[in-house]
C-alpha cells in the first residue's frame, strides 16, 4: 500500500470552480458529458411466476451495503426481463441508487438486472474511468442527497443526475487515485474479516473452555459461594443457589482467562487498526479527489508520512 501513495506537491496551481478549488489541469464536467448511456430499472410482474426464480440476479436499493452489492435475494428469468422495464447491467458498469437510498452505489460485480431504485451508467472510458467515478460519487454522496430536497419524490430526477457536476483529473491520475483508495479499502475489508473470524474463534473458545476446560471440570452450585443479600437483579436466591457452574482448578481458571484475554487483545488491536484505516481512507478521499494531494508513480514513500501529509492539510 505504501508504494501506491505519493508525496504532497506544494507547487500545484489551482483554479476556482462551482464545486470548489481544483488543480488547473483538472476539468469540471457534467455527468452526461462523460457518459454514453443511462439505464432505468424495473420490476417484473410479481404475480407471474414465469418471471421469477430464474438465473438472472435482480437487485433493489435495499441490496446495497457499504457501497457494494451485499446480497442477491431475487432472481428473474429472461421472460421477466423481456416483459418488464428492468435492464441487465453488464459486469463492471456503474450502479447508482437514485430512489429509496440515494447516495448508495456500486460497481456491478457481474451481469445484473436492476429495479427502478437504480440507474445503470455506461461511461465513456476515454474520458473517465468507472473506478474513479465510483470513488468520486462516493465522496460526493451528500451532494447527491441534497438534490432530492428539490423534488416531491424520494429520489433523483434523471435531469439532476445527468447534470451532476464532477471534477475530472487526467486519466492517468484517475487510475492512480482509484488504485490507492481501492488498496486502502481492501485492507479495511481484510481487517474486518480477521475481526469476524477472531470473534467466531472467541465464541468457540468460550463455549469449549468454559464448559469443558483443558480437562475434567467439576460442577458446583451457587450455594457453594457466599451470596450478598437474598436476590441479585430480582433472581430468587434459591434459583441462584441451585444454578450449576463448571469450576476448573485455580490453575486452569487462570489459563482459560489468559487465553480469552489474549483473544480480546487481538480483537482490540485489529479493531483499532481498522479504525485507523477508515480514518486514512476518509482523509485520502478528501485530499485525492479534490487535488489537494497529487499522486506520482511509483513512490517509495512510507504510509506514516502520507498520514502526516494529510494531517498537514486537514485540521484535527
In three-state secondary structure terms, 201 is helix
Residues 6+ apart with CB under 8 A from 85: 40, 41, 42, 43, 116
User: Are the C-beta atoms of 26 and 169 separated by less than 8 Å?
Assistant: yes
Residues 6+ apart with CB under 8 A from 52: 44, 46, 74, 75, 76, 77, 80
Model confidence at 6, in pLDDT bands (50, 70, 90)? very low
Task: Give me the numbers of helices (H) and strands (E) for the chain, helices first please.
Answer: 8, 18
pLDDT of residue 74: 95
pLDDT tens figures, 261-280 = 788 888 888 888 888 889 88
- Percent of the chain at pLDDT > 90 equals 42
Mean pLDDT for the stretch of residues 175-182: 91
More reliable by pLDDT, 101 or 4: 101
Average pLDDT, the chain: 82
More reliable by pLDDT, 302 or 128: 128
More reliable by pLDDT, 85 or 294: 85
More reliable by pLDDT, 224 or 179: 179
Q: Does domain 1-16+170-213+248-316 have CATH number 3.40.50.450?
A: no
Mean pLDDT for the stretch of residues 276-297: 85
In three-state secondary structure terms, 185 is helix
User: Burial code of 263-298, b = ≥16 C-beta within 10 A, e = fewer?
Assistant: beeebeebeeebeebeebbebbbebbbbbbbbbeee
- 170 pLDDT more than 70: yes
C-alpha cell at 17: 470552480
The full 3-state SS of 242-308, as one line of letters, equals: CCEEECCCHHHHHHHHHHHHHHHHHHHHHHHHHHHHHHHHHHHHHHHCCCCCCCCCCCCCCHHHHHH
Chain-centroid distance, C-alpha 305: 25
- 211 pLDDT more than 60: yes
pLDDT of residue 162: 94
Domain locations along the chain? 1-16+170-213+248-316, 27-168, 220-245
User: Are the C-beta atoms of 108 and 96 separated by less than 8 Å?
Assistant: no
Pairwise CA distance, residues 78 & 88, whole Å: 10
- 295 pLDDT more than 90: no
C-alpha cell at 210: 468454559
- 160 pLDDT more than 80: yes
pLDDT of residue 261: 79
CATH of domain 27-168: 3.90.220.20
pLDDT of residue 313: 52
Pairwise CA distance, residues 48 & 23, whole Å: 54
pLDDT tens figures, 75-121 = 999 999 999 999 999 999 999 999 888 889 999 999 999 999 999 99
Q: List, in sequence order, every residue forming a beta bridge with 68; answer none if it has no partner.
A: 65
Tell me the C-alpha to C-alpha distance, in Å, between residue 211 and each of 63, 215, 224. 40, 10, 18
Number of CB atoms found within 10 A of residue 128's CB: 23
More reliable by pLDDT, 41 or 220: 41
Amino acid at each position: 500500500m505504501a508504494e501506491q501513495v505519493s508525496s504532497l506537491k506544494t507547487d500545484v496551481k489551482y483554479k476556482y470552480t462551482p464545486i470548489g478549488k481544483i488543480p488547473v489541469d483538472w476539468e469540471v464536467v457534467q455527468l452526461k458529458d462523460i457518459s454514453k448511456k443511462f439505464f432505468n430499472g424495473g420490476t417484473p410482474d410479481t404475480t407471474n411466476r414465469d418471471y421469477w426464480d430464474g438465473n438472472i440476479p435482480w437487485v433493489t436499493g435495499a441490496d446495497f451495503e457499504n457501497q457494494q452489492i451485499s446480497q442477491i435475494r431475487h432472481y428473474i428469468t429472461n421472460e421477466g426481463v423481456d416483459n418488464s422495464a428492468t435492464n441487465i447491467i453488464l459486469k463492471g458498469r456503474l450502479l447508482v441508487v437514485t430512489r429509496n437510498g440515494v447516495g448508495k452505489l456500486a460497481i456491478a460485480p457481474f451481469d445484473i438486472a436492476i429495479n427502478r431504485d437504480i440507474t445503470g451508467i455506461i461511461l465513456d472510458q476515454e474520458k473517465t474511468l468507472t473506478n474513479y467515478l465510483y470513488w468520486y460519487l462516493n465522496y460526493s454522496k451528500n451532494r447527491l442527497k441534497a438534490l432530492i430536497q428539490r423534488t416531491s419524490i424520494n429520489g433523483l430526477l434523471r435531469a439532476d443526475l445527468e447534470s451532476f457536476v464532477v471534477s475530472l483529473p487526467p486519466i492517468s491520475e484517475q487510475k492512480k487515485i482509484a488504485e490507492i483508495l481501492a488498496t486502502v479499502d481492501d485492507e479495511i475489508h481484510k481487517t474486518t474479516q480477521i475481526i469476524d473470524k477472531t470473534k467466531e474463534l472467541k465464541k468457540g473458545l468460550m463455549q469449549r473452555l468454559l464448559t469443558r476446560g483443558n480437562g475434567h471440570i467439576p460442577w458446583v452450585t451457587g450455594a457453594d459461594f457466599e451470596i450478598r443479600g437474598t436476590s441479585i437483579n430480582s433472581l430468587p436466591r434459591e434459583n441462584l443457589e441451585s444454578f450449576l457452574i463448571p469450576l476448573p482448578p485455580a490453575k486452569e481458571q487462570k489459563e482459560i482467562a489468559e487465553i480469552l484475554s489474549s483473544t480480546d487483545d487481538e480483537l482490540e488491536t485489529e479493531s483499532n487498526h481498522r479504525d485507523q484505516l477508515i480514518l486514512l481512507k476518509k482523509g485520502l478521499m478528501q485530499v485525492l479527489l479534490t487535488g489537494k494531494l497529487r499522486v506520482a508513480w511509483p513512490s517509495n514513500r512510507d504510509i506514516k508520512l502520507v498520514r502526516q501529509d494529510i494531517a498537514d492539510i486537514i485540521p484535527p
